[in-house]
Amino acid sequence: MARLVIMGGGVAGHTTATFAKKWLGKDHEVVVVTPNSQWNWIPSNIWVGVGQMEKKDVVFPLAPIYKKAGIIYKQALATTIHPEGKEGDDTPFIIIQSTEEGSVGETETLTYDYLVNATGPKLNFDATPGLGDGSGQMGSNTVSVCTAEHAVHANDELTKTFEKAKAGKRQKILVGTGHGTCTCQGAAFEYIFNIEHEAKKAGIRDMLDIKWISNEAFLGDFGMGGLHMKVGGYAVSSKLFAESLYAERNVEWIIGAHTSKVEEGKIEYELLDGTMHEETFDFAMLIPPFSGVGFKAYAKDGADITDQLFMPNGFMKVDAKYDAGAYENWKASDWPETYQNPSFGNIFAAGIAFAPPHLISKPMSSPNGTPINPTPPRTGMPAGIIGKAVAHSVCDMIKAGDDVELHKASMAEMGAACVASAGKGVLHGTAAAMTVYPVVPDFEKYPGTGRDTKYTFGEIGLAGHWIKHILHHMFIYKAKLKPGWTLIPE
Amino acid sequence: MIKNITTYPTQTNFGFGGTVRHFDETLTQLLTDLKETIEENHLDGLAAFQIGSPLSVMVIKKENEFIEIINPVVFTKEGKINPVETTAYFPQLTATTTRAQKIKLMYENRQGEQQFLTAEDDLAILIQRKVDYLMGSTFLVRLSPEEKQLFEQKLASNSDELTLESCPTGLKSEKILTTIKYGVIVGVVVLTSSFLLSDSHLNMLKSLEYILIALLFLLTLGYFFYAQYEGKKYNTCTSCQIGNIVAMTLIKSIHITGLFLLTYWLT
């Protein structure tokens, strides 16, 4: 009997675990280690953040789902990896620390035959002074919608801001990225337009100054170098689409900005030309930069081998080309296909946990040397597809040996669909529905923009909102492993 | 080499706006072609798209000096102005756009070195127009809905003589047409509900339907005369011309007649 251990229970980890268990059956063990007791459909957090959904609508407990599926569930935090085992025993293992009520802090050694790292990111608030509290958690100056709890807090603060506006006190709202190397601009984009939508509904739009701040070099970059949209029959760049939307909704913007310091009611930021500026706010939601969760890895003799498994930013090394060099040398083939660690063949990474070989957008920095560019997004769809491919590979290795051909899911060969909400409502909601193929531009195959124009398009409207709402229910249904869950695509 | 300048109706499309990744001979040749084409046509600037290249490159001519701009990024915009613009893509036509009065631009030179430029007024407007081309679009996206409608009419008539005053949006005659349209829709919907009604109610519905049809015919007649009266104020407006008014009157009459025949046969 082989044991597959999956660290992380988000989109990638949950997909890997549930498919692996389905394919392996009772002959082998599938163990999920995650510090969270609940699964969170993160794309809907923005609706929690504006009070249009409650936390219970976007989360559900993992334990009963895993019990039903026959997956062993450990509510714990993985801390160290020992891929060579220990003196006298070659069985690899990880050390985990319980986060379950009643046994918090208790450690356990968990051996594995195959290990999948699907932890997602560490929300690195402390990368920007004042954005974090100094101990790795979100600070008190701004809010976030990265987790369901954060979104509830964001809504509480937003409600207070709306109340002040209703009382006749003009309010400044700032939404965007809290560092020059952030990703996940899409979530901030959704949040700012949902705030604007709710303000209109509440009749206080004229009392709010709403401003966007982002590390993107142009509006609509989204960390992917932008894409093309079809709006009203015209094909336009996402830059023009976004600029039109911001202008139409009267949302001002600051782009090419690295937020360097956050204080109560004020941020400092550096622009691409190296100049420093300040912006004040009454309410701010700033997405933190991501990093790896900070695992340590040790050899059998206790030597630190973290650099064999992880890049300096904490994300796991996989089969990517990490020495591609300058921007002009980047190729689609630099991107990983199997997500297998090059040093240890029984270790994989899925979702945000794998280290990308380089950016997708053109790298940029200010004359002061400050990098100001979005890092690659790894949204739900690619994370799910990668998780499923990794599950396939591990199952084949367990059943047929380690020499089998591994399954591939390169982001340079997969498309992604994204539905970005711009306001919730059955009749008055709007969302931008976008598809892009491939996620990572392939300049050799598709000269020019690097994308296949047949599959790269987008529209904005009410139908997009309905799709986003339907997807919310569909993916939670799938994650709960209800009848027919495997038929719903990633 | 002097190149032909792309003009309307050749569409900008997805294939444009590709980031320059290789600062090589091909780029040097493109920059030379842009300059020679600018000189030949006495222009103040060209985006690579305008001579058929997909790359994110433009050349601006300012005081007899050329500025080579590669992979431009406008990262700061200040102030709003509404200039009347012309462009070689839409020869002989003008449009009132909305632009930033001052911009800060980051770009690369032919060696791939990062550069910065602050531009104001005419230069800022010119660069913004060229950036639109590099992003696969034209200044059409910078027009207000009214200006856009007017510009589309200019394109259709290939004349720059039209103004917002010469062909305003929201004509009263157009509102009459909209009312007739919704009247016909209401008539059809009510008629559909006749399948669910008893005979006694059916007679009442039939009477109401005929009253509606009579009103719609009267409105159409009113449109025919009022549109001509209104059109006299706007000589250059295509939707105000007699041919268009007659055609719209006939179309609406056909719709109402259709509603009448359906009412007659179904009730």
| pLDDT surpasses 80 at B234 | no
Residues B32 and B98 both lie in one domain: yes
A388 in a domain, yes or no?
A: yes
**B70 to chain A, minimum CA–CA distance in Å?**
13
Residues of B in contact with A362 (CB under 8 A): 19, 71
| pLDDT surpasses 70 at A227 | yes
What are B190-216's pLDDT values in tens digits? Answer: 888 877 777 778 888 888 889 999 999
Q: Please report, for the domain that includes residue B55, its CATH number.
A: 3.90.45.10
Residues B135 and B190 both lie in one domain: no
Q: Do A239 and B141 lie within an 8 Å CB cutoff?
A: no
Under the banding of pLDDT at 50, 70 and 90, the label for residue B266 is confident
Top pLDDT among A446 and A141 is at A141
A39 in a domain, yes or no?
A: yes
Residues B123 and B176 both lie in one domain: no
Contacts across the A-B interface (CB distance below 8 Å): 80
Mean pLDDT, chain A, whole residue set: 93
A35 in a domain, yes or no?
A: yes
* Confidence at residue B31, expressed as pLDDT on a 0 to 100 scale: 97
* Confidence at residue B236, expressed as pLDDT on a 0 to 100 scale: 57
Among B75, B102, B108, the strongest candidate for a mutation testing the A interface, having the largest count of A CBs within 10 A, is B75
Which of B15, B104, B137 is facing A453, going by the closest CB pair? B15
Q: Do B18 and A449 lie within an 8 Å CB cutoff?
A: yes
Residues of B in contact with A327 (CB under 8 A): 21
Residues B93 and B132 both lie in one domain: yes
The parent domain of residue A83 ranges over: 3-123+290-400
Residues B139 and B242 both lie in one domain: no
| pLDDT surpasses 60 at A8 | yes
**B193 to chain A, minimum CA–CA distance in Å?**
25
Count of domains for chain A:
1
* Confidence at residue B7, expressed as pLDDT on a 0 to 100 scale: 86
A305 in a domain, yes or no?
A: yes
Among B106, B110, B140, B155, the strongest candidate for a mutation testing the A interface, having the largest count of A CBs within 10 A, is B106
Q: Do B22 and A328 lie within an 8 Å CB cutoff?
A: yes
The residue-averaged pLDDT of A240-244 equals: 84
Distance CA A301, CA A82 (A): 10
The residue-averaged pLDDT of B228-246 equals: 73
A205 in a domain, yes or no?
A: no
* Confidence at residue B87, expressed as pLDDT on a 0 to 100 scale: 86
Among A231, A240, A277, A443, the strongest candidate for a mutation testing the B interface, having the largest count of B CBs within 10 A, is A240
Under the banding of pLDDT at 50, 70 and 90, the label for residue A457 is confident
Residues B115 and B217 both lie in one domain: no
A241 in a domain, yes or no?
A: no
Which of A256, A328, A453 is facing B21, going by the closest CB pair? A328
- B55 DSSP assignment: B
**Percent of chain A residues past pLDDT 90, beyond the cut:** 76
Q: Which residue of B has its CA nearest to A274?
A: B116
Give the residue among B143, B144, B163 at the shortest CA–CA distance from B153.
B163
**B168 to chain A, minimum CA–CA distance in Å?**
22
Residues of B in contact with A330 (CB under 8 A): 21
Distance CA B31, CA B57 (A): 8
Residues B139 and B34 both lie in one domain: yes
Which of A235, A237, A255 is facing B75, going by the closest CB pair? A255
The residue-averaged pLDDT of A299-307 equals: 95
B161 in a domain, yes or no?
A: no
The residue-averaged pLDDT of A200-219 equals: 95
Q: Which residue of B has its CA nearest to A331?
A: B21
The residue-averaged pLDDT of A193-215 equals: 96
* Confidence at residue A107, expressed as pLDDT on a 0 to 100 scale: 95
Spatial contact of A430 and A465, defined as CB atoms under 8 Å apart: yes
Residues B176 and B260 both lie in one domain: yes
A224 in a domain, yes or no?
A: no
State which of B143, B160, B183 marks the end of a domain: B143
The parent domain of residue B178 ranges over: 172-266
B181 in a domain, yes or no?
A: yes
A419 in a domain, yes or no?
A: no
Which of A256, A449, A451 is facing B73, going by the closest CB pair? A256
Under the banding of pLDDT at 50, 70 and 90, the label for residue A464 is confident
Under the banding of pLDDT at 50, 70 and 90, the label for residue B10 is confident
What are A253-275's pLDDT values in tens digits? Answer: 999 999 999 999 999 999 999 99
Q: Please report, for the domain that includes residue A339, its CATH number.
A: 3.50.50.60
Which of B18, B74, B135 is facing A448, going by the closest CB pair? B18
| pLDDT surpasses 80 at B54 | yes
Count of domains for chain B:
2
